[in-house]
């Protein structure tokens, strides 16, 4: 891991609204990040062990990334006063992500309309969203395309590691909510499928 990789990792973690505490040990490198309730600043403290420190165990490989979170929107799941209203057969949802991880004011202020029973494909991790396998390449999916549960719909890049995100359910892509190359948060809605 290079110094630049470490800085990118720290910034990526700090930018997550769900972040509270992070600890990383790699060889002689040790990083602690902590966000205290009400604090705007995070503490990052790279440390090197003292000469008397005990030897470290070899680092184990990270677990496989989780599958994309898929959520079905039902009429009964959307309280009228809190999340929007029902009209014309569609549910108007003020925000597709929980309040704890909602983007800053103004980032996605416009309400989003999803058909009843829509499937939300959510990011299983914090990273950068890519619609294609390479810059300028053909996107994995397009608006209106029918996909199977195992169809790759995008890639989330985390520290130079590319994680393929499957649709998770068969359906038609009705919304692509993130632009190519944009950063995404854990649980952020990436795409919407109509399972019909």
pLDDT digits (tens, 9 = 90+) for 58-103: 444 555 555 555 555 544 444 333 333 333 333 333 333 333 444 4
Predicted confidence band of residue 151 (pLDDT cuts 50, 70, 90): very high
CA–CA separation, 168 and 188 (whole Å) = 15
Give me the pLDDT at residue 49, please: 46
126 neighbors 16 (Cβ within 8 angstroms):
yes
Give me the pLDDT at residue 178, please: 94
Q: Nearest CA to 92 among 118, 121, 115?
A: 115
What tokens appear for 177 in the block? 């909510």
Three-state DSSP class for residue 41? coil
Percent of the chain with pLDDT over 70: 57
pLDDT: is 188 or 47 the higher one? 188
Least confident segment among 31-35, 126-130, 166-170: 31-35
* Domains and their CATH numbers in the chain: 3-44 (no CATH), 69-194 (2.40.50.100)
188 neighbors 175 (Cβ within 8 angstroms):
no
Give me the pLDDT at residue 67, please: 53
Q: Per-residue pLDDT for 50 more than 60?
A: no
In terms of average pLDDT, the best of 33-42, 51-60, 73-82, 128-137 is: 128-137
What is the average pLDDT score of the chain? 69
């Amino acid at each position: 891991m290079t110094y630049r990789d470490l800085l990118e990792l720290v910034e990526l973690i700090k930018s997550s609204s769900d972040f509270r505490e992070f600890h990383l040990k790699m060889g002689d490198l040790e990083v602690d990040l902590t966000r205290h309730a009400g604090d705007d600043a995070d503490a990052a403290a790279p440390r090197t062990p003292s000469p008397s420190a005990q030897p470290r165990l070899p680092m184990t490989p990270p677990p496989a990334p989780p599958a994309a979170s898929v959520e079905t929107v039902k009429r009964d799941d959307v309280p009228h006063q809190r999340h929007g209203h029902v009209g014309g057969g569609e549910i108007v949802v003020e925000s597709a992500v929980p309040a704890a991880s909602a983007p800053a004011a103004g980032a996605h202020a416009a309400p989003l309309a999803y058909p009843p029973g829509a499937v939300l494909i959510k990011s299983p991790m914090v990273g950068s969203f890519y619609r294609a396998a390479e810059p300028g390449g053909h996107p994995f999916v397009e608006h209106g395309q029918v996909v199977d549960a195992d169809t790759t719909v995008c890639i989330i890049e985390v520290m130079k590691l590319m994680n393929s995100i499957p649709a998770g359910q068969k359906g038609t892509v009705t919304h692509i909510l993130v632009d190519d190359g944009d950063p995404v948060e854990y649980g952020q809605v990436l795409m919407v499928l109509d399972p019909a």
